[in-house]
Amino acid sequence: MRRPCASDRAVRVLIVDDSAVIRKVLAIGLSTDPLIQVVGAAASAEQAREMIGALRPDVMTLDIEMPRLDGVSFLRELMPTHPLPTVIISSTTQRGAAVTLAALEAGAVDIIAKPSIGVGEGLPAIMAEICQRVRAAAHARPATPLPDRARPTAPRPATGTGRIIAIGASTGGVQALAQILQPLPADAPGIVIVQHMPEGFTSAFARRLNDACAITVREARDGDAVTSGLALLAPGGRTHLTVNGRAPNWHVSLAEGEPVCFSRPSVDVMFRSVARAAGGSVVAALLTGMGKDGAEGLLEIRKAGGTTIAQDEATSVVWGMPAAAVDLGAASAVLPLEAISEALLAATRPAIRGTSRHTPHQGVVR
């Protein structure tokens, strides 16, 4: 089992990349942070395997496309026996996006676009973000690799209309969202999602979810209607997603804007818009992730009469965003990941059955 990272010492980092130039750039950049110690750099998965045993790093940064054994295969081999927090540092090409998502599903805890050598004066800012996220990864709980699942073909019973499910996630959200969305019936209420992810990755992530779920999942487009059986994933990188309109004719808008809580798209921006547009018709969940994005927005949803859920600490890869929501009193229930899917559906049923709204699972109810 992985030795916990001590809070009173620097985070020990192993860099794994087949490019000598990238290894050097990352080593120099990470070493500028006094809270990070680069303990080694490996050019291949085979070399990394040996160095992990000898150096016992707290965090590994990992490239995907490497000779002989690629990063995804390496993670699937490593994680069951040595769940080492791993930060993927990958190019954001279309093929790279799909492969990198497979690595996240294999147990990696975060994804960062590989820094370009030619960015010049912008490189220190990029490295500062990488340092921050590497430090955060040291406190993460790597998830078990997801099994491959085929897309269900038979629809399941209806759960009603006239409500919106809103979900926000960050670090660890790739696996969490898959676990929540896969059990939903084909005619589940309309869903809007913000998952912190670099530009170029969300379309590939939406396709992977779509292939595994009974509902339709796709990257959101400006003006898309929020309809039953459809989950809209906010595009990464340049715009915020908001929900507008009036029941039952809600739609999403995409607009450029400054980052909120260092994030674009921001969960807070999406949650606040849903609170304004749908009020008590919202069922929202804030999942695993570092930082506090989404906490204040979740509170606005609760104040507007919506149902609010935060993922619990035990099942979160990083209990940052949900913890911030709990501290604010924004969550009406704090539930383990495996209970959230049914809780979301249960909260939509009163709209058509006329029963009191409640969550049937045990959890911390506030």
Do 214 and 277 share a structural domain?
yes
Quick one: pLDDT at residue 146? 56
Q: Are 109 and 139 in contact (CB under 8 A)?
A: no
Within-domain flag for 133? yes
142 occurs within a structural domain: no
Q: For residues 361 and 342, is the Cβ–Cβ distance under 8 A?
A: yes
Tell me if 3 is assigned to some domain: no
The domain total for the chain is 2
User: In terms of domains, do 311 and 202 share one?
Assistant: yes
Q: How do residues 90-116 score in pLDDT, each as one tens digit?
A: 875 556 778 878 888 888 988 887 777
- Whichever domain contains 236, its CATH number is 3.40.50.180
| 59 and 86 Cβ atoms separated by less than 8 Å | yes
Which of these is catalytic: 18, 33, 110, 170?
Answer: 170
- CA 33 centroid distance within chain: 25
- By CB atoms closer than 10 A (0-12, 13-18, 19+), residue 21 is exposed
What gap in Å lies between CA 71 and CA 84, rounded to an integer? 13
User: Which pLDDT does position 143 carry in this prediction?
Assistant: 67
User: Is the residue at 293 inside a domain?
Assistant: yes
196 belongs to the catalytic site: yes
Q: Which of 196, 240, 266, 316 is catalytic?
A: 196
Residues 314 and 228 in one domain: yes
The enclosing domain of 123 has a CATH number of: 3.40.50.2300
How far apart CA 21 and CA 27 sit, in angstroms, is 10
Which residues in the chain show pLDDT less than 50?
Answer: 1-6, 153-160, 351-362, 365-366
Same-domain pairing of 192 and 123: no
Res 194: pLDDT: 98
19 and 127 co-located in one domain: yes
Domain span at residue 270 reads 164-365
Same domain, 199 and 338: yes
Catalytic residue flag (residue 312): no
Same domain membership, residue 261 and residue 213: yes
170 is catalytic: yes
- Whether residue 21 sits in one domain with residue 125: yes
| Mean pLDDT taken over the chain | 87
Coil, helix or strand at residue 341: helix
DSSP string, 227-282: -TTEEEEPPSSSEEEEEEEETTEEEEEEEE---BTTBSS-HHHHHHHHHHHHGGGE
Among residues 33, 187, 268, 293, the one annotated as catalytic is 293
- Are 125 and 193 part of one and the same domain? no
295: exposed, middle or buried (C-beta count within 10 Å: 0-12, 13-18, 19+)?
buried
**Same domain as 249, residue 124:** no
